[in-house]
């Protein structure tokens, strides 16, 4: 099924957009990208305490480089969810910080496989339609990967999302046993990039057309 064709049994959600931002168009979307880093700080520093709080209330790490691509989900222009993608043939979180978690299969290092990290929904949107919003975020990531010829996407994943992966019908490849990180089980896992995986995410999100916006220079 084409990503631009209506999906049977779904309703169009015109308010959602998924903006693709990297170093080539970051200046054009500086406000949205700044808000992404602000909300990242709220989640990862203030809520979860995984990283130190900063005076600027913006969260950055060693992997926010020119290789990073950000998927910023907007609802009526307001930032509500985000993700970061990094090619695994470059330094990334799993290979640099968690290489010892790959106990079942080797670490992936390939330009055809992206690491998916720093994914979150802002706290205010988790109690209303959060499954649809999460599915829309997954659809945006999957569509980006399809457009750019990537065969898998994944990395260190919170085990609690296993039921969502099953609901989406995504094929998951587990590369290690769960490891407790900040009191939660995490494991290295990767998803196959397929049209079917995108269709399933679109259906769960109630989307009948692409929401991905990519205005980066060719």
Q: What is the pLDDT of residues 190-210, one digit of tens each?
A: 999 999 999 999 999 999 999
Q: b/e string for 22-53 if b means 16 or more Cβ within 10 A?
A: beebbeebeebbebbbebbbebbbeeeeeeee
Given pLDDT bands bounded at 50, 70 and 90, which one contains residue 83?
very high
The yes-or-no verdict on residue 85 having pLDDT over 60 is: yes
pTM of the model: 0.91
Domain ranges of the chain: 16-213
Structure tokens at 175: 């590369």
* CA atoms of 138 and 161, how far apart (whole Å): 12
Q: What CATH code would you report for 16-213?
A: 3.40.630.30
Reported for 182-186, long-range contacts at CB under 8 A and 24+ positions apart, including other chains, are 182/48, 182/49, 182/50, 184/158, 184/159, 184/160, 185/158, 185/159, 185/160, 186/101, 186/156, 186/157, 186/158, 186/159
Cβ–Cβ under 8 Å, residues 85 and 69:
yes
Instruction: Please give the pLDDT value at position 14.
Output: 55
| Predicted pLDDT at 129 | 62
Residue-wise pLDDT tens digits, 117-151? 999 999 999 876 688 899 999 999 999 999 999 99
pLDDT, residue 6, reads 35
The mean of the pLDDT values for the chain is 91
Six token digits for residue 102: 């790959």
Q: How confident is the model at residue 13 (pLDDT cuts 50, 70, 90)?
A: very low
């Amino acid at each position: 099924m084409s990503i631009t064709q209506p999906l049977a049994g779904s309703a169009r959600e015109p308010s959602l957009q998924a903006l693709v931002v990297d170093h080539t168009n970051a200046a054009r979307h500086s406000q949205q990208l700044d808000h992404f880093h602000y909300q990242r700080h709220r989640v990862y520093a203030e809520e979860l305490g995984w990283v130190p709080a900063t005076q600027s209330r913006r969260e950055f790490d060693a992997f926010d480089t020119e290789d990073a691509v950000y998927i910023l989900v907007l609802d009526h222009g307001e930032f509500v969810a985000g993700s970061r993608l990094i090619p695994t043939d470059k330094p990334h979180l799993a290979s640099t910080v968690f290489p010892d978690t790959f106990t079942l299969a080797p670490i992936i290092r390939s330009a055809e496989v992206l690491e998916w990290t720093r994914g979150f929904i802002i706290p205010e949107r988790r109690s209303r339609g959060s499954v649809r919003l999460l599915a829309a975020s997954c659809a945006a990531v999957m569509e980006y990967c399809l457009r750019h010829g990537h065969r898998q996407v994944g990395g260190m994943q919170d085990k609690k999302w296993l039921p969502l992966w099953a609901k989406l019908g995504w094929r998951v490849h587990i590369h290690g046993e769960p490891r407790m990180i900040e009191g939660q089980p995490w494991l290295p896992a990767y998803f196959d990039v397929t049209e079917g995986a995108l269709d399933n995410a679109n259906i769960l999100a109630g989307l009948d057309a692409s929401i991905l916006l990519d205005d980066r220079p060719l």
